[in-house]
Chain A
């Protein structure tokens, strides 16, 4: 289902099939819909066999980086000599992205089952699910579901009589975008400020509490039971474009569009189909101008670029951006691109953990320069200043938050320069008061 809209024939509903169905939230309702079959099957397999199956499926991380999931799991030590941990990243905060929220609200047991399979596969007895503090409803739904799973033996000291112990702990964030970065998340769980850590060591070597740890996104984990029940070959066959991108992907569509919401498509679906067929095109009387395809941290695409792109990891890169988290922000011809790029820069300046100089200073400085341009005080030199700042914010810091701030700025100047020019030349009314 393209929640909150009915399913579209061009969708492939796997994870979203039961969105909006309150009965699917409960344990009994979930089992009736085929739930926990994947976990039962997994418990009868060796850990290595599960990792191989997930590797063979081609499943890649759905949080933004697109790293192969099975490969990530295989980095964990084979022998469990000290505690292993699984961390589920449910800190969904990337502007434009709201898919994990729906997975937790409507199909909490899909996530619990995926977590349990992953925990077993990597030799972890405990899984922490880090849910952002603002997600009050998903928190309540997940809390109830974990209790129910425990009562029904899907979690606990002896999962489904297999002798396997899996404990699930929900951990509530407290308002910090950066905690969605995996090493910042581990620090946050440890009771620290959410500053990202330098890698190496990688989490599989020394992660949460210094122990071997795997961190996976909600959507990635929710896809795992399907790989187990229907097999890697079947999952891999869900592919319309590049064979490196397999399965289905939830795409969150928002902004200037007729039917915003979550849609689920087979990898390789043309973005045009999503924008027009599923979402109904632009609001009446308007035309599309730009699309940010993967959450706010990826380069902005012109509508022409977006319309010609296939929706998968490679297809979006080919047209100059990234699939990221597949949070698609759509902007029509009424949008002031300079103002929105400023608003995004302000977001990153607000969310910088302030650990690295390039990010702490760069995001704030970028915001101020854009403010100046919007106030009608911009100068011709400001283009180069913004590009220089962006250059110094890319690939030079512990995490990629400052790179993410640079992406919309650089692509915005490249693709929408006349809009900047109008403010600088004074041919457009200032949008902000001078500071």
Chain B
């Protein structure tokens, strides 16, 4: 599968453990009452997959499709439209750095360089050799007055400068 390329072949071919069982299944079914169609539960269901597995695999796409009465091709079309769903495994900690103009003029590109160096990722989108981090550049995080904001997993951190990078990374094993 090309979408899994280069990111740990072992993970890609492991048999798929269903996500929507037990409490996760119950959570999904609770959602059904909040929308008039099952299809509308697609984005929340994909979030549940990513929460459980860290990324959205082909097999998970198949499982979501079956749970919501959609085709896998349709679900994949939606997954690939949105930038926050990972279609391949990423590091244990996923770092998103805003580099859009307001942050750009306040030095966001230097924050990116500092992060790439300190994490050992080297390149944007690549995972560090120890599997700890993946760093990507993202468009406007909506906190322009607190340049540069970064998102480490679900932690939204404001006013990041290159100097603060090592201290921030220490918090993430």
Contacts and interface: CB of A to CB of B under 8 A. Distances in A.
Interface in A125-177: 132-137, 167, 169, 171-177
Interface in A158-213: 167, 169, 171-177, 188-194, 209
Interface in A83-98: 83, 92-98
Size class of the contact patch on chain B: 35 or more
Contacts, number: 141
Contacts of A190: 37, 39-40
Given A171-B43, A174-B47, A191-B37, A347 B100 contact: yes
Interface of B: 34-37, 39-44, 46-47, 68, 70, 77-78, 81-85, 96, 99-102, 104-106, 138-147, 151, 154-156
Closest 8 CB pairs of A and B: A191-B42, A175-B84, A174-B82, A175-B83, A254-B144, A260-B145, A191-B39, A193-B81
A262 B34 contact: no
Interface string A231-259: 00000000000000000000011111000
Contacts of A327: 144
Given A329-B101, A340-B104, A136 B34 contact: no
A175 B78 CA distance: 12
Contacts of A171: 43-44
Contact of B144 (A97, A167, A173): A97
A343 B143 contact: no
A96 B40 contact: no
A327 to B, nearest CB: 7
B84 A133 contact: yes
Q: Which of A93, A132, A191, A340 has the most CB of B within 10 A?
A: A191
A191 B82 CA distance: 11
B41 to A, nearest CB: 7
A111 interface: no
Contact of A174 (B85, B101, B144): B85
Interface of A: 83, 92-98, 100-101, 132-137, 167, 169, 171-177, 188-194, 209, 252-256, 260-262, 296, 327, 329, 331, 335, 340, 343-344, 347, 350-351, 353
Given A172-B47, A340-B101, A350 B144 contact: no
Contact of A98 (B36, B85, B142, B154): B142
Nearest to B140: A95
17 contacts: A132-B142, A134-B84, A134-B142, A136-B154, A171-B43, A171-B44, A174-B85, A190-B39, A191-B39, A194-B81, A209-B37, A260-B144, A260-B147, A296-B101, A327-B144, A340-B105, A344-B101
A189 B3 CA distance: 26
Given A191-B37, A192-B78, A343-B101, A260 B84 contact: no
A240 B58 CA distance: 58
B142 A174 contact: no
Contacts of B144: 95-98, 252, 254-255, 260, 327, 329
A94 B141 CA distance: 9
Contacts of B151: 134, 136
B84 A174 contact: yes
Nearest to A354: B81
